[in-house]
């Protein structure tokens, strides 16, 4: 497949159709919300429609390269955009009842999700360093605000501030690395950087690449750039965490793949070592750090760090098979983590959110459906067959072994065994401990999303793999790795 960047303005705008839908919808809904701030449900419905429309356009639009190589609409971008927009659409009905129950009427929340999804769409379609940075910052700024959206909650405000300050540090690393790459390559376009790096990967380019990798590692919560994750997960509103634990991670991982595969395929020997280190450190930090956690949001933050390590291990394979494994892993993980936080969103006792391990005691007697769903997500995160998490890890470990990375694959498997303790502990508490009291009636939206995600984790995943696998394979082949 040849993607030509020599397109007319009309053709270029057609390739940016999903982004235009989201941008125009966000502006229109922002104005509508300003004049009718009490109609948060209407604004939310409009945002869901816009996201579904953008997903439909992304799935059916022609492929090509626009704006001088800055925007790439290939199979990988299509695959990622459809998944990101659908996950973003689910996040809106999940959050609105939660905010309303606490008397927080924020019509801006759906608008911020649209803007974040717009940034994520730009990230997965980025063909140069400028588009990369604009997409990352647009998505991140919206996430910072959403983390602090529960204004009367001190923890939420602290989470938003920590996320912003540490996010600014990572953006500095990303921008500095990009400037070094531009300085030594003489171009910001990935294909032109690849041509220069293919001739000679000099020290200056490698330094720039390392800084870019560090900046992107922060965005995906890879250790040792994970320091923001537990605090932000704990402090931010639970349905907001459900959003930025899923779609932004997929977008950042696809952008990660774009940088290393499209701009630096000739430097695979160098970046592969860095990615293996990031993967193994992430798995170790996530596995051992989660052992001492009592707050479930913090626990799942460490779980997400470990899972990002597995996804990075797929990237480290340096093959098209590894990229396919990363895409499969992130999509399956995204559904699991959304379902888990949907369970937490649905659960409360006497108006107080149930977030600690002790709160889950005897849940199987109080809310058997939600307890079963959480059991499925815990077993899936553990990697127990035949749940979706098992298949996700099989893809990653198989790709690593085929690439000759036996030792990292074995170490990753050991980390998975260590992490099994805290997943099994949660199941034990829900099924065998005495309940401290009755729970509140869960919102229909959160319960429905939780149950649907659990059904996907098993048994629907067995059917979904038959059509998801070819799509991921086609998407992986769009990158510049063999």
- The pLDDT tens digits for 180-230 are 999 988 889 998 988 887 766 788 888 999 999 999 999 898 988 888 899
Q: Which helix (H) or strand (E) holds 65?
A: strand 64-66
pLDDT tens digits, 277-321: 999 999 999 999 999 999 999 999 999 999 999 999 999 998 999
Q: Is the pLDDT of residue 399 over 90?
A: yes
Half-sphere exposure of 69 (CA within 13 A, CB side): 14
Q: Is residue 6's pLDDT more than 70?
A: no
DSSP bridge partners of 352: 349
Q: pTM of the prediction? A: 0.94
Over range 429-438, report the average pLDDT.
87
Examine the pLDDT at 5 and tell me if it is beyond 70.
no
Count of beta carbons in the 10 Å neighbourhood of residue 411: 18
Q: Residue 1 above 50 pLDDT?
A: no
Average pLDDT value over all residues in the chain: 90
pLDDT, residue 269, reads 84
Kindly list the distances between the CA atom of residue 356 and the CA atoms of 162, 240, 299, 337, 447, in Å, as whole numbers in the listed order.
Answer: 22, 18, 9, 17, 19
Q: How far apart are CA 183 and CA 176, in angstroms?
A: 10
- Which tens digit of pLDDT belongs to each residue from 448-478? 999 999 999 999 999 999 999 999 999 999 8
Q: Is the pLDDT of residue 2 over 60?
A: no
CA dihedral of residues 436, 438, 441, 447 (deg, nearest 10)? 40
* Lowest-pLDDT range of 101-105, 329-333, 356-360, 388-392: 101-105
Tally of CB atoms within 10 A around 469: 15
Separation between Cα atoms, residue 55 and residue 11, nearest integer Å: 19
pLDDT of residue 437: 80
User: Which residue blocks in 103-227 are alpha helix, DSSP H?
Assistant: 108-124, 129-147, 154-185, 190-199, 203-219
- Give the range among 4-13, 85-94, 144-153, 320-329 with minimum mean pLDDT: 4-13
Average pLDDT in the 32-36 region? 83
Contact 285, 302 (CB under 8 A): yes
The torsion of the CA quartet 303, 305, 309, 314, rounded to 10 degrees, works out to 80
Q: Does pLDDT of 138 surpass 50?
A: yes
Largest Cα–Cα distance in the chain? 68
Extract the runs of DSSP E, i.e. beta strands, from 210-344.
Answer: none
Q: Which residues are within 8 A (CB) of 81 and not within 5 positions of it... i.e. 6 or more apart?
A: 18, 54, 55, 58, 121, 124, 125
Count the residues in the chain.
Answer: 482
- What does the pLDDT read at residue 199? 62
What percent of the chain is predicted at pLDDT more than 70? 97
pLDDT for position 35: 82
Report d(CA 170, CA 48) in Å as an integer: 30
User: What is the pLDDT, as a whole number, of residue 214?
Assistant: 92
By C-alpha distance, which of 154, 145, 211 is closest to 179? 211
User: Does the structure show a pLDDT above 60 at 121?
Assistant: yes
Looking at residue 202, what is its pLDDT?
Answer: 81
Rounded to an integer, what distance in angstroms lies between the CA atom of residue 254 and that of residue 4?
21
Partner residues linked to 147 by β-bridges: none
| Closest-CA residue to 122 (of 32, 217, 19, 225) | 19
pLDDT for residue 59 is more than 60 = yes
């Amino acid at each position: 497949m040849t993607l030509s960047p020599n397109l007319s303005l009309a053709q270029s705008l057609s390739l940016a159709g999903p982004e235009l839908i989201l941008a125009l919808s966000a502006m229109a809904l922002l104005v509508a919300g300003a004049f009718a701030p009490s109609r948060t449900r209407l604004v939310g419905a409009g945002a869901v429609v816009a996201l579904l429309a953008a997903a439909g356009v992304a799935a059916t639009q022609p492929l090509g390269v626009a704006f001088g190589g800055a925007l790439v609409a290939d199979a990988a971008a299509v695959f990622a955009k459809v998944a990101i927009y659908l996950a973003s659409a689910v996040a809106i009905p999940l959050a609105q009842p939660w905010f309303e129950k606490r008397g927080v009427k924020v019509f801006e929340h759906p608008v911020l999700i649209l803007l974040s999804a717009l940034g994520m769409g730009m990230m997965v379609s980025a063909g140069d360093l400028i588009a990369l940075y604009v997409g990352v910052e647009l998505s991140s700024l919206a996430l910072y605000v959403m983390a602090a959206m529960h204004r009367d909650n001190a923890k939420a405000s602290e989470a938003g501030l920590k996320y912003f300050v540490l996010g600014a540090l990572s953006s500095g690393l990303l921008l500095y690395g990009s400037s070094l790459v531009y300085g030594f390559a003489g171009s910001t376009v990935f294909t032109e950087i690849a041509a220069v790096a293919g001739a000679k990967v000099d020290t200056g380019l490698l330094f720039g690449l390392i800084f870019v990798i560090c900046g992107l590692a922060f965005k995906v919560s890879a250790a040792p750039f994970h320091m923001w994750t537990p605090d932000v997960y704990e402090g931010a509103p639970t349905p907001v965490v459900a959003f930025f634990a899923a779609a932004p991670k997929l977008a950042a991982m696809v952008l990660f793949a774009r940088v290393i595969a499209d701009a630096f395929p000739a430097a695979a020997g160098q970046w592969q070592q860095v990615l293996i280190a990031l993967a193994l450190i992430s798995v170790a930090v996530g596995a051992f750090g989660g052992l001492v956690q009592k707050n479930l949001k913090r626990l799942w933050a460490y779980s997400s760090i470990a899972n990002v390590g597995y996804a990075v291990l797929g990237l480290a394979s340096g093959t098209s098979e590894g990229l396919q494994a990363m895409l499969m892993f992130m999509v399956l993980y995204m559904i699991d983590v959304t379902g888990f936080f949907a369970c937490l969103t649905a659960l409360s006792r006497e108006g107080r959110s149930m977030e600690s391990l002790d709160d889950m005691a005897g849940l199987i007697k109080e809310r058997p459906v939600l307890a079963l769903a959480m059991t499925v997500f815990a077993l899936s995160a553990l990697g127990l067959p035949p749940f979706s998490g098992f298949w996700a890890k099989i893809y990653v470990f198989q790709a690593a072994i085929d690439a000759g990375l036996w030792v990292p694959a074995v170490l990753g498997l050991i980390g998975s065994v260590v992490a099994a303790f805290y997943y099994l502990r949660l199941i034990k508490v829900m099924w065998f401990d005495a309940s401290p009291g009755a729970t509140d009636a869960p919102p229909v939206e959160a319960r429905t999303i939780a149950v649907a995600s659990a059904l996907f984790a098993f048994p629907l995943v067995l059917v979904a793999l038959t059509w998801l696998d070819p799509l991921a394979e086609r998407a992986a082949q769009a990158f510049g790795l063999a």
